[in-house]
Chains A and B, each alone.
Chain A
Amino acid sequence: MYQYDAIDREFLTDRANEFRHQVARRLSGELTEDQFKPLRLMNGLYLQLHAYMLRVAIPYGTLNPRQLRRLAWIARTYDKGYGHFTTRTNLQFHWIKLKDAPDILDALAEVDLHAIQTSGNCIRNTTADPRAGATAEEIDDPRVWAEAIRQWSTLHPEFSFLPRKFKIAITAAAKDRTAAKLHDIGLMLRRSRDGALGFEVIVGGGMGRTPHVGPTIKEHLPVGRLLSYLEAVLRVYNRHGRRDNIYKARIKILVAALGAEEFGRQVEEEWAKIDAAQVDLPDVELARIRGFFAPPAFDVLPRVSAAFEEAKSKDADFARFARNNVQPHKQAGYAIVDVSLKRPGDTPGDATAEQMEVVADLAERYGFGDIRITHEQNLVLPHIRLDDLPVVHAALQAAGLATANINLVSDIIACPGLDYCALANARAIPIAQSIAERFAEPDRAEAVGELKIKISGCINACGHHHVGHIGILGVDKKGEEFYQLTLGGSGAEDAEVGKMLGPALPAGRVAEAVDQLVEVYLRERQEGERFLDTFRRAGVAPFKEAVYAEAD
């Protein structure tokens, strides 16, 4: 992974120290809350319902064991022994005291971590395919470009006060695991017919109260021109984005208002004015960054592992884990392991300090020290030898981390919701728990197959409900928690915003309704169809009838 140099480290230390002084001035009354709030938000510190929340940046969802152990230590020392992984592949601590925040930033800085640009109207953490550098599906390593974007966007003076927050995702595989089309900018690495590497640039996607699947404004941006082109996009947005209305301030509104073609034309016009040599990455710098992402020293191994095959035939739990949580690796004899943070009954995305330490140990011992976070709130060990899978599985199982449910009905995205968040209208976590428990029987979950349920506690859509195969939005109906269901959404390469099923349901009805939807799917599905495919073919009518029949 990328390594900070002395200047980066000095900067982080200075920044933590600056915040220490700002906190002291706030506590002494020298700064008012109105003066202090933007300063704490610039350091990822929010005030939520029960305490402060600190959001730590995890650049493109990549951690080393030392960093994960430090996060575990912070969880144990300053929080209640756990952390919450988010859909931006960051980590949130939910029980932070303002007086401890400076010490925590110091502890983070010591392992090259920070909370900069995890809040505010700036370019947030760029997310990338969690299987980067491990999957044979990719045509280049997206982390190289994500790191270039990280360096370019960090404290960029021109883009520190945008009309609204700004999120970029990047993938280099045809199968999109980043929800790229639902981002302010989605970048998809492609090869042109003549073999040249370029980005398909998608701009103006997003969720929130006005969901949009982003249009493509450039089919093939030569990779070497990435940063100047991004700068042109941001410049057009910075100039014309709506600063008068927070609900219309995201770039998706501007792109929709101008039309993708006109927006693209303005970007081209702006791009032509930029002194590209000043902005685009020189080849030598690109090569330097690329060097940090060189493949680890893989052993030369046979494609088939006797230990792996034997464990599958002897241990049904392991076989299930292999079916659902183990993915092919580009290197023979290795596999990508998905670590589920979705054990039925648990809070989606939460990991205890002990669990973090187990994953850090496994990464160090068996996985070249590489750990990834997915936007679906799970972890990934990207480089595990097939021979080591039985022992890794046993260790994960002992830590409650071996739930074999990746992409299944109980692998639910849920935002913290009203249990923690000051913006939420309704709780999301208990709904996720009730659904996961209803489908806890693993044979049934596997029989249902891929089914992505995503739950948000308010219209801001941190839980990505718009793109759930089944999306669930918590609403406040005259002071009571109700849940609006949408069907047919997708955040993948076939991105689509879900369609409303019908009137919102009370909390006690949601898991049952999901069950009814699943039964319709099992009845209607044709050979090879996922829930999403059946919905797309059969339409909303049979699903609607099943959920609302009794009410009529």
Chain B
Amino acid sequence: MKALTANRLIDGEVVFWSQGRWVEHFGDAELFDAEAPAEAAATGAKAQPNVVIDPYLIDIEQGEAGPAPISYRERLRALGPSNTPQHGKQAEGGAEVAAILAAHGAARSSGRVNLIKRK
């Protein structure tokens, strides 16, 4: 499973792709089961260079508590910094945050690695 993420140009906010628009919460992100629509969304995102910076696909795993990014780097992006639970999206709590906090699996952020390689 994949999701499409980026940072918003105007404020740097972590955003996710959902049905043709950017949303701020991972819980609202569109999750792609198939490769083709994910790639199509990424291509569309790249055509918005004045809205977001460096869009890339991330790997998602369905955990017991719900979906969460596989890489801990992406989990930190989706939550906020772990030293200040009152900052970032994690501050709002809820099921999506609980699911990400519950995720343990770890892997490199492959989308991010590809991004670095491209540069």
Task: Mark B69-90 against chain A: 1 for CB-CB distance below 8 A, else 0.
Answer: 0111100110011111001100
* Minimum Cβ distance to chain A for residue B84 (Å): 7
Main secondary structure of the interface of A (DSSP, over half): mixed
* Minimum Cβ distance to chain A for residue B71 (Å): 6
B residues in contact with A430, CB < 8 Å = 82-83
Contact status of A80 and B87, CB under 8 A, knowing A418-B73, A419-B81: yes
A51 to B72, CA, bound (A): 18
**B13 near A51: Cβ-Cβ < 8 Å:** yes
B residues in contact with A26, CB < 8 Å = 9, 50
**B10 near A97: Cβ-Cβ < 8 Å:** yes
Partner of A50 from the list B9, B10, B81 (CB cut-off 8 Å) is: B81
A433 to B82, CA, bound (A): 11
Stretch at the interface among A248-256, A371-379, A475-483: A475-483
Q: List residues of A (91-150) whose CB comes within 8 Å of B's CBs.
A: 94-99
* Minimum Cβ distance to chain A for residue B55 (Å): 12
Say whether B98 faces chain A, with CB atoms less than 8 Å apart: no
Task: Mark B24-45 against chain A: 1 for CB-CB distance below 8 A, else 0.
Answer: 0000000000000000000000
* Minimum Cβ distance to chain A for residue B62 (Å): 18
Contact status of A27 and B87, CB under 8 A, knowing A419-B76, A420-B81, A479-B106: no
A427 to B10, CA, bound (A): 26
A residues in contact with B84, CB < 8 Å = 80, 347
**B12 near A97: Cβ-Cβ < 8 Å:** yes
A505 to B102, CA, bound (A): 22
Task: Mark A494-523 against chain B: 1 for CB-CB distance below 8 A, else 0.
Answer: 000000000000000000000000000000
Q: List residues of B (1-23) whose CB comes within 8 Å of A's CBs.
A: 7, 9-14
Contact status of A479 and B76, CB under 8 A, knowing A50-B81, A98-B11: no
Q: List residues of A (412-457) whose CB comes within 8 Å of B's CBs.
A: 418-420, 427, 429-430, 433
**B80 near A479: Cβ-Cβ < 8 Å:** no
**B13 near A27: Cβ-Cβ < 8 Å:** no
Say whether A49 faces chain B, with CB atoms less than 8 Å apart: yes
**A27 near B9: Cβ-Cβ < 8 Å:** yes
How many residues on chain A are close to B (CB under 8 Å)? 32
Contact status of A49 and B76, CB under 8 A, knowing A478-B107, A479-B106: yes
Say whether A29 faces chain B, with CB atoms less than 8 Å apart: yes
A residues in contact with B88, CB < 8 Å = 50
A residues in contact with B82, CB < 8 Å = 419, 427, 429-430
Q: List residues of A (462-486) whose CB comes within 8 Å of B's CBs.
A: 476, 478-481
Task: Mark A141-169 against chain B: 1 for CB-CB distance below 8 A, else 0.
Answer: 00000000000000000000000000000
Nearest-neighbor residue (CB-CB) of B79 within chain A: A50
B residues in contact with A52, CB < 8 Å = 11-12
B residues in contact with A433, CB < 8 Å = 83
**B83 near A27: Cβ-Cβ < 8 Å:** no
A residues in contact with B53, CB < 8 Å = 33, 47
Say whether A48 faces chain B, with CB atoms less than 8 Å apart: yes
Say whether A32 faces chain B, with CB atoms less than 8 Å apart: yes
Partner of B7 from the list A27, A47, A429, A476 (CB cut-off 8 Å) is: A47
Say whether B93 faces chain A, with CB atoms less than 8 Å apart: no
Contact status of A96 and B76, CB under 8 A, knowing A419-B83, A429-B83, A479-B106: no
Q: List residues of A (332-359) whose CB comes within 8 Å of B's CBs.
A: 347
A residues in contact with B106, CB < 8 Å = 478-481
Partner of B12 from the list A50, A429, A478 (CB cut-off 8 Å) is: A50
Contact status of A49 and B14, CB under 8 A, knowing A27-B9, A29-B50: yes
Partner of A51 from the list B11, B50, B73 (CB cut-off 8 Å) is: B11
Residue ranges of A at the interface with B (Cβ–Cβ < 8 Å): 26-29, 32-33, 47-52, 80, 94-99, 347, 418-420, 427, 429-430, 433, 476, 478-481
Which A-B residue pairs are the 8 nearest by beta carbons? A419-B81, A97-B11, A479-B107, A51-B12, A29-B50, A479-B106, A52-B12, A429-B83
Residue ranges of B at the interface with A (Cβ–Cβ < 8 Å): 7, 9-14, 49-50, 53, 70-73, 76-77, 80-84, 87-88, 106-108
Given contacts A49-B73, A50-B80, A98-B9, 13 further A-B contacts (CB under 8 A): A33-B49, A47-B12, A50-B13, A50-B14, A80-B87, A96-B12, A418-B72, A418-B73, A419-B81, A429-B83, A479-B108, A480-B72, A481-B72
Cβ contacts A to B, 25 pairs, < 8 Å: A26-B9, A33-B49, A47-B7, A48-B12, A49-B73, A49-B76, A49-B77, A50-B12, A50-B77, A97-B12, A98-B11, A98-B12, A99-B11, A419-B81, A419-B82, A420-B81, A427-B82, A430-B82, A430-B83, A433-B83, A478-B107, A478-B108, A479-B71, A479-B107, A479-B108
